[in-house]
Chains A and B, each alone.
Chain A
């Protein structure tokens, strides 16, 4: 028997590329009767891979890449997105969503909530903030409780617990960004008879690291079955620029830089993905621990964290429930048979 190790998440990128491009063509052309695809490009690895796959599936002339920055976006994101689009032979469109977000009062609503935790917080004076989870999942097994970190213009940084009301308001305001991006992507898709191609990976989709009707609002999911480490394998195969492959995954949502590990996943993908694979394939924590050189308790904590996130975010993946047909009133049923 082969000993369990990190390599369990290795794929054949050539075979997987063919599989995904076939899936996209069938889904978009045959099932949806759409001519091509729109991809929101963020300068990150996931949207880079999806753009490259879409170009292979539909041809560069049938793919639109859209950059959707707002005033909090890192300028590096746009630079990398342009580099990617050039590599794929696509002319990117740029839709700055800042004014739309100001219309929704996204920034004011969000900053009001941050100020209730940090009364000195002043975005206009150069304060920045981010939302983080504790980074001690393996050692302490703490639950997922968010804190807010504020960074003063002089670089002073402080983290405080986030109350329920503030957490809800910051999340609701921040989600306006993803939902505005979704609206812009659908404008470009509908005006070209294209489909919106989703860029969430398995880590994001299955653990609920997406916004319902925001980045989760798409017509087809290209890579939602792939672990993040498998997305990197495809990126190398598809020739995604090394500058994008090297960039640490970021939320690019809050005004302060925030990587996806501190915001949500709490572990490096190189550790998380093989353990998740093991859980999906009923491999015991003991076997994983031995194969990866970790204490069994740590593996169990990762199993538990994955399960907790999947369970508590199930609502995000549900279609709206609806009732079956109404029962006709007796009289109207009789009228039908007359």
Chain B
């Protein structure tokens, strides 16, 4: 298992979800955050659906079909950046005067 020294909460939560629900691993997420989830055969079409549902439940992020692209979903780092952008957009929207 690769020890994660930089345990930012979004990345850690995503790693934990993938390890438990897609890898069925008892050893955690043994890849780098930049590893391609597609090339490593970690996610298939079902895995993508499960990840999208997890992002919604855990972070309150609404995932549109057009969001489900490799540049948003193909690594832990890309997923975390996607969550960050979505949350930031939601905060900006909430801050707009009615």
Chain A residues at the B interface, C-beta cutoff of 8 Å: 134, 140-147, 161-164, 167-168, 304, 307-308, 311-314
Complex formed: what's the CA distance from A168 to B46 in Å? Answer: 8
Binding site for A on B (CB under 8 A): 38-39, 41, 43-46, 48-50, 52-53, 65-66, 68-70, 73
User: Number of A-B pairs whose CB atoms are under 8 Å?
Assistant: 55
Chain B contacts for A140, CB-based, 8 A: 66, 69
The answer, among A134, A164, A308, A312, for a CB contact under 8 Å with B65, is: A134
Q: How far is the CA of A292 from the CA of B76 in the complex (A)?
A: 35
Q: Are B46 and A143 in contact (CB under 8 A)?
A: no
Q: Which residues of B contact A161 (CB under 8 A)?
A: 49, 65
A142 and B49 contact, Cβ closer than 8 Å, known pairs A308-B38, A311-B41, A312-B41: no
Give the nearest-CB partner of A312 in chain B: B44
Classify the secondary structure of B's interface with A.
helix
Distance to closest chain A CB from B37 (angstroms)? 10
Which single member of B41, B49, B52, B53 contacts A314 (CB below 8 Å)? B41
A-B contact pairs, 30 of them (CB 8 A): A134-B65, A140-B69, A142-B65, A143-B38, A143-B45, A143-B48, A143-B69, A144-B44, A144-B45, A145-B45, A145-B49, A145-B65, A145-B68, A146-B49, A147-B65, A161-B49, A163-B49, A163-B53, A164-B46, A164-B50, A164-B53, A167-B45, A167-B46, A167-B49, A307-B39, A311-B38, A312-B38, A312-B43, A312-B45, A313-B44
